A = this chain, B = another copy of it.
Amino acid sequence: MKRNVAIILAMLLSSFVLYAQNDSLQIRRIFNQILSNGMCYSRLDYLSNQIGGRLSGSVAAERAVKFTFETLKKEGFDSVWLQPVMVPHWVRGAKEVAWFKGKNGRSIVAVCALGGSCGTDKQGITANIIEVKSLQEVSDLGEKVRGKIVFYNRPMNPLFIKTFDAYSDAVDQRAMGAVAASKFGAVGVIVRSMGSNVDKNPHTGMMRVQADVKQIPACAISTYDAELLSAALLADKDLKFYLKMNCETLPDVLSYNVIAQINGTEKSEEIILVGGHLDSWDNGDGAHDDGAGCVQSMEVLHTFKSLGIKPKRSIRCVLFMNEENGARGGTAYANYAKENKLIHLAAIESDAGGFTPRNFGATTTEDKLRSLRGYAPLLQAYGIEEVLASGGGVDIGPLKEQGTCLIGFGPDSQRYFDIHHTAVDIFDKVNKRELELGAGNIAALVWLISEYGL
């Protein structure tokens, strides 16, 4: 009897070893394909350099839809289609102008309008500045901000090791600063850019508006100029700031999510979604945010096709429209999934830049998290250290209530807020190998889930 048990154990063990070995080999094939014949880098080149910044509603966004749709169509996947979605159409207009006059004369500063902001009138506005470090401080000042431009100048805290934590900690100034200041009669808002370093590139990004609060012009100022302005205010608190912005919100525009699928051979009704967002801010080329996530998602399907892998479950690539200023694509997609009773077993979003891979993070049940953590050792040699107990993405977020396991791809975050939402989010800032290793890890995880479920 003991011997029988031993034999059975040995058989189980060897089949397990074989199984793990085969998985390793398959994952190695996936990486080999991407590292030697991958398409993601050249596609990102096109998206960044031939199309460029592609804010929702823009001609460039339309071109990005066409390019990715046609590229996926040519690959001959089982289905490739467009999901219509109405998106906001905010436009920056002519470049912003801003300067202040202090004791040392006039200093021109680099600013950019925040997404969703109203413009100034044609003459621009001139007002005194009041510098604050928080929304609370504005409430405390109350009526003292009336007629002034509120200057939010709390830097991203460098002591957070992961830069996204520092971003979350600081971004309330950009998101809610204008509403908070307008309530007390401020005439404009300047927000220190959400950047990890001190440089001359202002970072745009979305701000909230509130129906019952008067809109006032709001812009981001480069971190370098924020320091300059703050120093100038110390010397002369009565300095005058001039701001002219030409942005406006036009009527909504018809746009699309771009979707492609390889059908599963055994459980085709179970979908594993992989995606990024196709829109980007207008000031850079949206190479990292989120061109990288789009071409990586496309690469997953391309890799399966190139290697002739027939997944057991269906693999779907979704390039979402309008993550940056409305998240309409993600919302529309989740509604459509709900209406059609689709089963999304897992959704993986890559929207943290095309940097070197470090982790995945999942918002899901303990059981599924355990399954994911069981897969992680297979990805360790390729840079995945761990599976964190939270993660996802703005676009896939609305699928949560349908029970989908939400997974965010986590590349190294140190460089992200040097380029995020700036004019230097360009192709040149993306490293080919880092981008490809990200695609490889995402493709490998998709394959593992398609093969073994969660």
Q: Nearest-CB distance from A436 to chain B (Å)?
A: 8
Tell me which residues across on chain B come within 8 A of A414, comparing CB atoms.
356, 431, 433-434, 437
Counted per complex, copies of this chain come to: 2
> Which residue from B36, B161, B382, B412 sits with its C-beta under 8 Å from A412?
B412
Inter-chain contact B412/A431, CB cutoff 8 Å: no
Residues of B within 8 A of A432 (CB): 196-197
Given A158-B35, A356-B414, decide whether A433 and B196 contact each other with a Cβ distance below 8 A. yes
Query: Whole-angstrom distance between the alpha carbons of A381 and B381 in the complex?
Result: 19
Which of B161, B197, B412, B433 is close to A31, meaning CB atoms less than 8 Å apart? B161
The residue from B158, B415, B431, B434 contacting A434, defined by CB atoms under 8 A apart: B415
Other than the given A161-B382, A414-B433, A415-B434, 8 more pairs (CB < 8 A) read A31-B161, A32-B159, A35-B159, A197-B433, A356-B412, A385-B385, A414-B434, A414-B437
- Asked if A453 CB lies within 8 Å of chain B CBs, one says no
| A147 contacts B by Cβ under 8 Å | no
CB distance from A26 to the nearest CB of B (A): 15
Most buried by B among A159, A161, A197, A434: A161
Select which of B163, B433, B437 is within 8 A of A433 by beta carbon. B163
The residue of chain B having its C-beta at the shortest distance from the C-beta of A28 within the complex is B159
Would you call A383 an interface residue if the criterion is a C-beta within 8 Å of the partner chain's C-beta atoms?
yes
* Set of chain B residues within 8 Å of A382, measured between Cβ atoms: 161
Complex Cα–Cα for A161 and B196 (A): 29
Interface residue A227 (Cβ < 8 Å from any Cβ of B): no
Flag whether A418 is at the interface (Cβ < 8 A): yes
> How distant is A280 from chain B, measured CB to nearest CB, in Å?
22
In the complex, which residue of chain B has the Cβ closest to the Cβ of A38? B158
Complex CA–CA separation, A432 to B414 (angstroms): 9
Interface residues of A (CB under 8 A from B): 31-32, 35-36, 158-159, 161, 163, 196-197, 356, 381-383, 385, 412, 414-415, 418, 431-434, 437
Q: Please tell me if the beta carbons of A418 and B431 are within 8 angstroms of each other in the complex.
A: yes
Q: In whole angstroms, what is the CA distance A385 to B382 when docked?
A: 13
Chain B residues lying within 8 Å of A356, measured Cβ to Cβ, are 356, 412, 414
Q: Which of chain B's residues has its CB closest to A163's CB?
A: B433
Separation of A177 and B261 alpha carbons in the complex (Å): 50
The docked-state distance in angstroms from the alpha carbon of A385 to that of B376 is: 13
Query: A264–B192 Cα gap in the complex (Å)?
Result: 44
Report how far A163 CA is from B431 CA in the complex, Å. Answer: 13
- 11 sample A-B contacts, Cβ–Cβ < 8 Å, listed by A number: A36-B158, A161-B382, A161-B437, A196-B433, A356-B412, A356-B414, A412-B412, A414-B433, A414-B434, A415-B433, A418-B431
Taking the nearest CB of chain B, how far is it from the CB of A404, in angstroms?
Answer: 29
A31-B162 Cα distance, complex, nearest whole Å: 13
Taking CB as reference atom, which chain B residue is nearest A32?
B159
B31 touching A159, Cβ below 8 Å = yes
Q: What residue in chain B is nearest A383 (Cβ atoms)?
A: B161
Query: Closest approach, in angstroms, between the C-beta of A275 and any C-beta of chain B?
Result: 24
Smallest CB gap from A431: residue in B: B415
| Chain B residues in 8 Å Cβ range of A158 | 35-36, 433
Residues on B with beta carbons closer than 8 Å to the beta carbon of A433: 158, 163, 196-197, 414-415
Q: How far is the CA of A272 from the CA of B36 in the complex (A)?
A: 43
Q: How far is the CB of A45 from chain B (nearest CB, A)?
A: 13
Give bound CA distance, A432 to B433, whole Å. 21
Task: Name which of A197, A382, A415 has the most chain B CB atoms within 10 A of its CB.
Answer: A415
* 8 nearest A-B pairs in the assembled complex, by CB-CB distance: A385-B385, A35-B158, A414-B433, A356-B412, A414-B434, A356-B414, A415-B431, A32-B159
Complex contacts, A434 vs chain B, CB 8 Å: 414-415
Residue of B nearest to A34 (CB): B158
Question: How many Å lie between the Cα of A161 and that of B385 in the bound state?
Answer: 14
A435: nearest chain-B partner, CB-CB: B414
Question: Which residues in B have their C-beta under 8 angstroms from that of A197?
Answer: 432-433
Q: Tell me which residues across on chain B come within 8 A of A412, comparing CB atoms.
A: 356, 412
- Report yes or no: A36 in contact with B159, Cβ–Cβ below 8 A: yes
CB of A188 to closest CB in B, whole Å: 31
Closest residue of chain B to A158 (Cβ to Cβ) is B35
Complex Cα distance A31/B381, Å?
28
List of B residues within 8 angstroms of A385 by Cβ: 385
How far apart are the CA atoms of A387 and B276 in the complex, in Å?
34
